[in-house]
Amino acid sequence: EHDKAVSDYTQYLLANKTNAQAFVWRGVSLNKLNKYNDALQDFNTAIAINPNSGECYYNRSLSYQGLGNTTQAQNDVQKAIQLGYTLPK
């Protein structure tokens, strides 16, 4: 129920604009809905709040991949690994 999740996270973020993890979770749901540009904005915000989160970079790579930007997707995967993120199998 990614539509509902996006709505719930949007409501939550109105009062909690500095919660990087909430931006990540909403971005993940947006990716699942193929709303890659919107997800990209959420991951960019999450990275601005928490620039050392490999999870943010990995999830942003999925948005870039969905948009067909494989170079940026690969760069973000490398950054995620560099920050210690373990890629899902």
pLDDT of residue 67: 98
pLDDT the model gives residue 44: 98
Residue/partner pairs of 70-77 with CB below 8 Å, 24 or more apart: none
Full pLDDT tens readout for the chain, 89 residues = 999 999 999 999 999 999 999 999 999 999 999 999 999 999 999 999 999 999 999 999 999 999 999 999 999 999 999 999 999 98
Written as one string, the DSSP assignment of 57-89 is HHHHHHHHHHTT-HHHHHHHHHHHHHTTPPPP-
User: Which pLDDT does position 50 carry in this prediction?
Assistant: 96
What pLDDT score does 28 carry? 97
